[in-house]
Chain A
Amino acid sequence: MQRELMERIRALMDKGVADQVLAWKRGEFFYDTEPAILTKDELGEMVYDSFCGPNLSKYLIKEMPKIENKILALIKPCDSYSLNQLITEHRIDRDKVYVIGVGCKGKIDVDKIRAKGVSGITGVDENGDKITVHTLYGDTTLDRKDVLLGKCLFCKGKEHRIADETVGESEDTSEGSDRFEMVKKLEQMTPDERFSFWRKELSKCIRCNACRNVCPACSCVKCVFDNPNTGVQNKAAANEFEENLFHIIRAYHVAGRCTDCGECSRVCPQGIPLHLLNRKFISDINELYGTYQAGECAGQRHPLIDYTQEDSEPSIVHERGNNG
């Protein structure tokens, strides 16, 4: 598929559609991919394989002022939601992007391979729903679905919500999973259990800000957490209060705009399940204001910048009980 994609990009560039492409290239290790803006001469560096988890949509923002013609962008089905959301927020100019929707069969999480006790990984071969991991100590065969990224297991569907053309095939990876299952489980715990669950998770945070930086919804030019006048600008969370503060505000600022792309949890070096915070907002919004999916199409007005006169009062949260 990589070759097919590369040929298509080259053809588009030859036609003069664009002279750059936003794609993935190899990082330090074979399982690392990083976003890259490539010209026709650099196209050889491009990769598209099962390690292309990163969502590229956000990287278009910085390119906008530089683009005269158009830029090609490789967008997976899940990334297409983020792209729509950014277009809605006027961060990306639709007319400057030629979107190539790339097929996706789920991306692999190398940490999950390691968690199976496999070390010294030198390469991965795929055949159908099995993968063969080559290591310094011999080969191991694993089920592909056991090592998919967490976000792929809750994929919203393999249809591109925005694309000028699509290349390659997709395969369902969510198998009817319920993305709110864990949210519901937490809601049913006692408040103290919930509190200690989150204490245990959030106290791992080292405030590297990776979750914020990777988030396509978190695209403010100046973030509250970078503003020394707010008193919340901290490089390391000094105590429990700051851990709570950072995480409540990070999730709150993207509430209604979060497409549940799962990038925050993917990049967290501490493995904090940040998507569970985002999904709480999504599930509350769905319940109180009607089912809503951010980024489903461009131009939507999200529920937290909208209202009806009949909205429930905030006391509904107290009435739900199991509160404290």
Chain B
Amino acid sequence: MPMNQEWKPKIVAFCCNWCSYAGADLAGSSRLSYPADVKIIRIPCSCRLNPLFILRAFQRGADGVILCGCHPGDCHYSTGNYYARRRMTALFGMLSYLGIDSRRTRVEWVSAAEGAKFAETMNDFAKTIYALGENVKLEDLRCKEN
């Protein structure tokens, strides 16, 4: 990265198709602003998120990874997010156990009507990641530019 450019955190947001992705849409069409460095990846349901995806995002240079899904009880497939909740808890616990700051990962429930919450969540997450700085503990130097 050129020296004169300010470092901005790269964030990957996995959004479930039925709620949070629509929420992101709403945030966009309501012209609410959230950091441009948030890259959204659409997944069919929050429970589609394989822990490998999160690690791969970090490998490819993400500084933070967030999962957004329907509110518990509202999952399009009824129970997907309940499973995701337990799985992510287990994974975050393991990251922290390995000495990797688990705050680089987050789960947030955002419905299709919550465009404002989506923007807020992303702003807040970006702030957290900005404070944590660049991801070095889970970086893969082979994937870094220059």
Contacts and interface: CB of A to CB of B under 8 A. Distances in A.
Contacts, number: 125
Nearest to A199: B99
Query: Which bucket holds chain B's interface residue count?
Result: 35 or more
A305 B90 CA distance: 12
Contacts of B55: 244-245, 248-249
B101 interface: yes
A292 interface: no
A314 to B, nearest CB: 4
A241 B59 CA distance: 7
B138 A244 contact: yes
Interface in A231-282: 231-232, 238-239, 241-242, 244-245, 248-249, 251-252, 255, 277, 280-281
A318 interface: yes
In this complex, the member of A241, A245, A318 whose beta carbon has the largest number of chain B beta carbons within 10 angstroms is: A241
B92 A311 contact: no
Majority secondary structure, B binding face: helix
B141 A195 contact: no
A198 B103 contact: no
Size band of the interface chain A makes with B: 35 or more
A324 B138 CA distance: 13
Contacts of A141: none
Contacts of A315: 106-107
A289 interface: yes
Nearest to A197: B99
Contacts of B139: 241
A314 B137 contact: no
Interface in B44-94: 51-52, 55-56, 58-59, 72-73, 79, 82-83, 85-94
B137 A195 contact: yes
Interface in A292-308: 303-308
